[in-house]
């Protein structure tokens, strides 16, 4: 195991987590992380905050620059042109060759483009990389109007970014409600309303037909499938991301949409692994999981497990715990634990509650027959991860979850105790009389979690 | 920006300009009666003699008046010093009171008018700018454009503001004779409250309180919808207005010593000084209460409340320095240094100041009980070194003047000995922590960026670790700006509070200990 050279392509959350965790267990290995995007690891999720002026690039770096040298993780800023698997060599864009003993591909994603006329005009772009952000900065300088296409997480982020600079935004969403291929209708409608409150012109059930440009190749307008022409100087294309594996095609590495891997992150090439956004599991890891997982948290877990496997005799497959995710739609935070599909299936029941202003909601799903709790969605209400991880793992009943909902809240102190209203509604719906455990005045005063 | 805000900003700037100009208006004339009235009996004969060349001369600026005064006064003292006649040297500083009394200007005739067009105009202008902020906008934290702002990101406006504040503090602490007109302006207000003429400290307290109140209203706007921020800001506004400003003045009205009941040693470093103790002991039952209350706060209040709630109960809910930092200083909170190096410097500095304050106070008390046999008047030297270096230069000039350069908690983070004491309790024996919400952190860095104490909150959050740091003042902004609901300030059992080897939830393959 000594002195092996581990090369990681990609310095995102997967690659960096893997590098750090290898170093923790293996003091000898040579570790090299290559990225053409930036010299240092930064948090991709924070790109929007740089544009909005909340932070500068340097604030998005989770580790200070000395960290890498101290931990003997070598960094190289370069784009890889080609991988010669039989020779175990990487060829950089400048022609330089780099050899490896173990190769970890963590190349992430790139914005999806689905072949619209005019999608390559100037002023038309997606948002994924640091370069995309720089391009967006340039493309949106002094513009009067922007159109965003695609009703997902990056779409709403882009709209928020542009609104922070007072650019009028039209937001084209193919679905009937915002992100309703993930969110159930009630939640999606709350977000619709919130988007409109931010003076974003939300056009639901609307698709992009064509992007029109001028003689200089700059975007001037879009045309929707309803025949409406919208003049604009910027178009954000945010219809998802796809694995960033272009440079690997034809190298002998087996790929489909992403790099094909087993549950141990092994590709078809010996000593070559893939993790994070760019990887595609040949077989599902669990019924409720996707083949390609493009989420921060899963990327991190991939990195953790592969690092373990590379530094241990005891090989473990990828076994994620209960699903969790979070997002923020303008001012409304979203958290989810377990399974909450957008459409109810026949064996699930759902209890939904929202506040009068339509800014806070919670949905708890449970099995109709067994009453076992299956998942929760919350908007505008922070929930405790460890509470729901336990409830899901231990298969609590919905009544059990409801009776402890006061302990599940993670909102800041002095926030309204929504759980009381929720339990009241739940009790009256079910004809139950579940009560929270009484908390003494002293315990309340010292702010005890009980 | 709305028109009313532009107008408000213009009024504020006019108010500030007039405030800055007032010290330079009017004439100065000294006569023997004034000197007799102002100086202590033992100095009367000498002082009336020294200042004779100035009598009945009309000075058209405070500069020339103060220059002459200092020349005459210093020449006299220098002679005595050269002769080593230390007991004859006049150690009292009469420059401020003499200059103030010699002033002849329209501010004396119309103090309220001048007060109106300077301070009140600034307040009104400030409110006109603040009140429409974020109106009709949904609830949520608004940090848009902070790093594009010249004022908030060390641009020209920020540098100008910092320089102005530093200048203001230098004059306030060491050259107050140059701001006598401003003090004259608030004389009637001081007389109405305490029955006494104003000092520069009254002026400072007034401006300080107004800054907290006006910028506190800004906090309500900016953190709209966040109950913790709103209540906490209301608390610092209340404690400043009632406990730090009004109550002490009212005490003076009733012939009691000026006393701020919420100020605690060693932040209140003069609490055990001879004159303070004697002031309290000689003021009857209320004076005794001041003494006992002050000691109870130190030995019981601080440990007990910090055990239950963390140091936030004081630093971001009660304290005056904290109050200014959390209101006037809020726009600069992101400028604190988050590097590991800064943390190292911080620990040496703040604990160094604590040791200094404790040693100085211990010597003072021992010396006092030994009837000055131990050190004689040497403790006075120690007091003046501390007062100059820590009380004035560090807490004031650097503490506030550096807001636009190093963030709003420079003093609280690097210098305040009480914060150090509270911090030791918070770190080792408290129920307070910032809980990290399992595996939800996305390392975005908002928490670290907006931590005014320069804590790299993200370092802990991304490894699923609770944040237990002695410096955390519990302002709650990390939690407020977190986009994924990862951070929660809370008090709970001590078990599991410090999780050195956290496990990030969500991965069933292995338990990753970060």
Q: How far apart are CA A432 and CA B5, in angstroms?
A: 54
Q: How far apart are CA B54 and CA B502, in angstroms?
A: 74
With beta carbons under 8 A apart, name residues in chain A contacting B492: 447-449
Confidence of residue B500 (pLDDT cuts 50, 70, 90): confident
Question: Is B506 in contact with A410 (Cβ distance < 8 A)?
Answer: no
Confidence of residue B514 (pLDDT cuts 50, 70, 90): low
pLDDT given at position B379: 84
Question: Is B139 in contact with A301 (Cβ distance < 8 A)?
Answer: no
Q: How far apart are CA B101 and CA A388, in angstroms?
A: 72
Q: What is the pLDDT of residues A379-434, one digit of tens each?
A: 999 999 999 999 999 999 999 999 999 999 999 999 999 999 999 999 999 999 99
- Cβ proximity of B67 and B75 under 8 Å: no
Residue B188 pLDDT more than 70? yes
Which residue on chain B is closest to A338 by alpha carbon? B506
Q: Which domains does chain A have, with CATH numbers?
A: 5-110+242-310 (3.50.50.60), 124-239 (3.50.50.60), 324-445 (3.30.390.30)
Residue A450 pLDDT more than 60? no
Edge-to-edge strand order for the sheet containing A234-237? A124-125, A234-237, A146-149, A169-172, A201-203
Q: How many helices (H) and strands (E) does chain B have?
A: 28, 5
- Over range A352-357, report the average pLDDT: 96
| A155 burial level (CB within 10 Å; 0-12, 13-18, 19+) | buried
pLDDT given at position B368: 85
pLDDT given at position B88: 86
- Cβ proximity of B258 and B252 under 8 Å: yes
With beta carbons under 8 A apart, name residues in chain A contacting B459: 62
Pairing verdict, β A332-338 and A324-329 = antiparallel
- Kindly state the percentage of chain B with pLDDT values over 90: 89
With beta carbons under 8 A apart, name residues in chain B contacting A22: none
- Cβ proximity of B259 and B293 under 8 Å: no
Query: Scanning the structure block, which residue is given the tokens 């003069």?
Result: B270
Chain A contact for B82, CB < 8 A? no
Question: Is B143 in contact with A52 (Cβ distance < 8 A)?
Answer: yes
Q: Please name the residue ranges forming H helices in A283-403.
A: 296-310, 385-393, 398-403
Q: How far apart are CA B30 and CA A293, in angstroms?
A: 84
With beta carbons under 8 A apart, name residues in chain B contacting A194: 138
- Kindly state the percentage of chain B with pLDDT values over 70: 99
What are the structural domain ranges in chain B?
Answer: 27-104, 193-430, 432-514
Query: Scanning the structure block, which residue is given the tokens 């908030």?
Result: B152
Backbone angles phi, psi at B131, to 5 degrees: -55, -40
- Cβ proximity of A56 and A50 under 8 Å: yes
Q: What is the pLDDT of residues A81-102, one digit of tens each?
A: 999 999 999 999 999 999 999 9
With beta carbons under 8 A apart, name residues in chain A contacting B144: 52-54, 164
Residue B513 pLDDT more than 70? no
Q: Give chain B's mean pLDDT.
A: 94
Residue A1 pLDDT more than 70? no
Q: How far apart are CA B416 and CA B349, in angstroms?
A: 9
pLDDT given at position B335: 98
Confidence of residue A125 (pLDDT cuts 50, 70, 90): very high
Q: What is the pLDDT of residues A48-93, one digit of tens each?
A: 999 999 999 999 999 999 999 999 999 999 999 999 999 999 999 9
Number of Cβ within a 10 Å radius of residue A377: 26
Q: Would you state the structure tokens that stand for residue A418, as one six-digit string?
A: 């929504």
Residue B130 pLDDT more than 60? yes
Question: Is A386 in contact with B505 (Cβ distance < 8 A)?
Answer: yes
Q: Give the CA distances from residue B80 to residues B90, B375, B376, B377, B380, in Å, rounded to whole numbers and listed in that order.
A: 9, 24, 22, 19, 21
Confidence of residue B96 (pLDDT cuts 50, 70, 90): very high
Q: How many helices (H) and strands (E) does chain A have?
A: 12, 25
Fold of the CATH domain B432-514: Alpha-Beta Plaits (3.30.70)
Mutate to test the interface with A, among B306, B494, B505, B511 (most CBs of A within 10 A): B505
pLDDT given at position A140: 98
The DSSP bridge partners found for residue A222 are A211, A230
Chain A contact for B151, CB < 8 A? no
Backbone angles phi, psi at B150, to 5 degrees: -65, -35
Q: How far is B121 from chain A (nearest CA, A)?
A: 31
Confidence of residue A237 (pLDDT cuts 50, 70, 90): very high
The answer to whether the predicted template modeling score (pTM) of the entire model surpasses 0.90 is: yes
Which distant-in-sequence residues (6+ apart) come within 8 Å of A363 by Cβ? A184, A186, A187, A340, A350, A351, A352, A353, A376, A377, A378
pLDDT given at position B308: 96
Which residue on chain B is closest to A64 by alpha carbon? B339
* DSSP letter string, B94-130: -HHHHHHHHEESHHHH-HHHHHIIIIIHHHHHHHHHH
What per-residue string of b and e applies to B413-445 under the rule 16 or more CB within 10 Å gives b?
bbbbbbbbbbbbbbbeebbbbbbbbbbbbbbbb
Chain A contact for B309, CB < 8 A? yes
Residue B293 pLDDT more than 80? yes
Q: How far is A386 from chain B (nearest CA, A)?
A: 6
For A305, the closest of B488, B489, B509 (CB atoms) is B509
Q: How far apart are CA B129 and CA B323, in angstroms?
A: 21
Query: Scanning the structure block, which residue is given the tokens 């608030």?
Result: B186
pLDDT given at position A255: 97
For A46, the closest of B444, B490, B508 (CB atoms) is B444
Question: Is B145 in contact with A164 (Cβ distance < 8 A)?
Answer: yes
The DSSP bridge partners found for residue A229 are A223
ipTM above threshold 0.90 = yes
Which residue on chain A is closest to B142 by alpha carbon? A54
Residue B362 pLDDT more than 60? yes
Q: What is the pLDDT of residues A130-177, one digit of tens each?
A: 999 999 999 999 999 999 999 899 999 999 999 999 999 999 999 999
pLDDT given at position A142: 95
């Amino acid at each position: 195991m000594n002195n092996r050279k581990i090369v990681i392509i990609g310095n995102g959350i997967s690659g960096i987590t893997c590098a750090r965790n290898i170093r923790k267990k293996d003091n000898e290995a040579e570790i090299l992380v290559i990225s053409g995007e930036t010299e240092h690891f930064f948090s991709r999720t924070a790109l929007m905050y740089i544009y909005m002026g909340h932070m500068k690039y340097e604030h998005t770096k989770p580790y200070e620059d000395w960290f890498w040298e101290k931990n003997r993780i070598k960094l190289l800023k370069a784009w890889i042109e080609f991988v010669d698997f039989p020779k175990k060599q990487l060829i950089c864009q400048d022609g330089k060759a780099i050899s490896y003993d173990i190769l970890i591909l963590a190349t992430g994603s790139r914005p999806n483009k689905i072949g619209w006329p005019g999608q390559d005009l100037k002023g038309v772009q997606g948002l994924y990389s640091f370069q995309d952000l720089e391009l967006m900065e340039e493309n949106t300088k002094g513009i009067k109007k922007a159109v965003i296409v695609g009703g997902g997480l990056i779409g709403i982020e882009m709209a928020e970014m542009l609104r922070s600079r007072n650019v009028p935004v039209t937001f084209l969403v193919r679905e009937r409600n915002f992100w309703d291929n993930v969110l159930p209708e009630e939640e999606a409608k709350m977000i619709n309303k919130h988007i409109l409150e931010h003076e974003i012109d939300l056009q639901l059930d609307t698709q992009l037909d064509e992007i029109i440009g001028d003689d200089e190749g700059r975007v001037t307008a879009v045309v929707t499938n309803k025949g409406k022409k919208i003049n604009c100087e910027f178009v954000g294309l945010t219809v998802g991301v796809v694995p960033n594996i272009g440079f690997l095609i034809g190298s002998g590495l087996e790929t489909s949409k992403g790099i094909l891997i087993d549950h141990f992150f092994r590709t078809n090439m010996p000593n070559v692994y893939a993790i994070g956004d760019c990887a595609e599991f040949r077989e599902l890891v669990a019924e409720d999981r996707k083949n390609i997982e493009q989420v921060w948290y899963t990327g991190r877990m991939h990195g953790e497990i592969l690092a373990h496997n590379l530094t241990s005799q005891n090989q473990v497959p990828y076994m994620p715990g209960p699903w969790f995710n979070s997002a923020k739609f303008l001012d409304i935070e979203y958290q989810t634990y377990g399974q909450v599909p957008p459409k109810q299936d026949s064996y699930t029941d759902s209890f939904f509650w929202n506040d009068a202003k339509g800014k806070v909601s919670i949905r708890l799903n449970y099995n109709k027959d067994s009453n076992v709790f299956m998942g929760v969605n919350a908007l505008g209400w922070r929930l405790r991860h460890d509470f729901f991880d336990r409830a899901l793992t231990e298969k609590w009943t919905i009544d059990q979850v409801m009776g402890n909902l006061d302990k599940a809240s993670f909102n800041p102190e002095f926030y309204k105790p929504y759980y009381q209203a929720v339990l009241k509604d739940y009790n009256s719906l079910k004809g139950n009389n579940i009560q929270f455990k009484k908390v003494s005045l002293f315990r309340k005063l010292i702010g005890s979690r009980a | 920006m709305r028109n009313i805000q532009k107008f408000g900003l213009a009024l504020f700037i006019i108010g500030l300009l007039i405030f800055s100009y007032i010290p330079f208006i009017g004439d100065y004339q000294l006569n023997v009666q004034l000197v007799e009235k102002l100086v202590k009996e033992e100095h009367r004969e000498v002082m009336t003699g020294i200042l004779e060349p100035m009598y009945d001369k009309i000075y058209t600026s405070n500069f020339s008046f103060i220059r002459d005064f200092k020349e005459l006064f210093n020449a006299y003292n220098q002679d005595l010093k050269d002769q080593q006649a230390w007991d004859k040297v006049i150690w009292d500083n009469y420059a401020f009171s003499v200059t103030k009394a010699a002033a002849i200007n329209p501010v004396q005739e119309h103090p309220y008018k001048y007060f109106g067009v300077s301070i009140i105009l600034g307040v009104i202008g400030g409110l006109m700018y603040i009140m429409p902020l974020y109106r009709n906008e949904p609830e949520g934290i608004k940090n848009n454009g902070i790093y594009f702002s010249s004022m908030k990101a060390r641009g020209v406006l920020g540098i100008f503001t910092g320089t102005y504040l530093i200048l203001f503090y230098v004059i306030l602490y060491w050259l107050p004779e140059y701001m006598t007109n401003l003090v004259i302006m608030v004389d009637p207000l001081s007389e109405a409250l305490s029955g006494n003429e104003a000092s520069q400290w009254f002026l400072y307290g007034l401006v300080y309180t107004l800054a907290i109140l006006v910028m506190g209203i800004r906090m309500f706007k900016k953190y709209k919808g966040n109950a913790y921020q709103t209540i906490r800001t209301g608390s610092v506004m209340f404690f400043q207005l009632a406990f730090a400003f009004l109550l002490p003045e009212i005490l003076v009205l009733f012939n009691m010593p000026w006393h701020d009941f919420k100020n605690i040693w060693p932040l209140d470093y003069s609490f055990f000084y001879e004159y303070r103790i004697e002031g309290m002991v000689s003021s009857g039952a209320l004076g005794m209460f001041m003494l006992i209350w002050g000691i109870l706060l130190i030995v019981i209040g601080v440990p007990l409340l910090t055990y239950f709630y963390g140091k936030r109960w004081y630093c971001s809910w009660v304290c005056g320095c904290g109050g200014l930092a959390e209101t006037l200083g809020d726009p600069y909170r992101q400028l604190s240094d988050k590097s590991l190096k800064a943390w190292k410097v911080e620990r040496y500095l703040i604990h160094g100041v604590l040791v200094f304050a404790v040693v100085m106070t211990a010597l003072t008390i021992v010396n006092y009980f030994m009837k000055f046999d131990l050190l004689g008047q040497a403790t006075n030297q120690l007091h003046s070194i501390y007062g100059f270096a820590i009380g004035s230069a560090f807490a004031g000039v650097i503490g506030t003047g550096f807001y636009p350069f190093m963030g709003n908690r420079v003093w609280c983070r690097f210098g305040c000995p009480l914060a150090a004491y509270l911090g030791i309790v918070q770190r080792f024996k408290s129920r307070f922590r910032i809980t990290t919400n399992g595996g939800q952190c996305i390392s975005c860095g908002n928490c670290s960026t907006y931590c005014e104490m320069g804590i790299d909150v993200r370092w802990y959050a991304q490894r699923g670790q609770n944040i237990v740091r002695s410096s955390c003042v519990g302002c709650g902004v990390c939690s407020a700006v977190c986009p994924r609901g990862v951070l929660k300030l809370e008090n709970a059992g001590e078990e599991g509070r410090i999780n050195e080897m956290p496990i990030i939830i969500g991965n069933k393959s292995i338990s990753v200990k970060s």
